[in-house]
Amino acid sequence: MYMLLGMAAMAGVPAYFVIQPMSLAQWRGGWRKAAAAPLLLTVPALLFSLFALTQGSNLWPITLIFAAAIGSLYLAALWLTQRLLSW
């Protein structure tokens, strides 16, 4: 069970960097604003990760990994909601 959770979190990182620009490009209006919400978490996480990298931390990507995984879950739920409501 924990292995599947770990795999899902790790798969969420590259998925986030694909899903975020796609959702911003495809959706309009309130859906676009809702799709931009994860940026409030991932941009500071990215900046902190880059700062940690410059300081020589060996765990520098961990905040970005967690933020991207949460962002992926949010965008997947938003996509599902948008599909169900437009059905």
Give the gyration radius of the chain's Cα atoms.
14
Is a pLDDT exceeding 80 seen at residue 9?
no
Torsion angle of the four alpha carbons 47, 51, 53, 58, in this order, in degrees rounded to the nearest 10: -100
The predicted structure's pLDDT at residue 10 = 81
Instruction: State how far the Cα of 76 lies from the Cα of 84, in Å rounded to an integer.
Output: 12
Exposure class string for 4-27: b at 16+ Cβ within 10 A, else e: eeeeebeebbebbeebbeebeeeb
Report pLDDT digits (tens) over 40-83. Answer: 999 999 999 999 999 999 999 999 999 999 999 999 999 999 99
Angle at CA of residue 22, ends 73 and 66, nearest 5°: 30
The predicted structure's pLDDT at residue 26 = 94
1 versus 61: which is more confidently predicted? 61
64 versus 7: which is more confidently predicted? 64
Is a pLDDT exceeding 90 seen at residue 1?
no
Structure confidence at residue 34 as a pLDDT band (50, 70, 90) = very high
Structural domain spans, the chain: 24-85
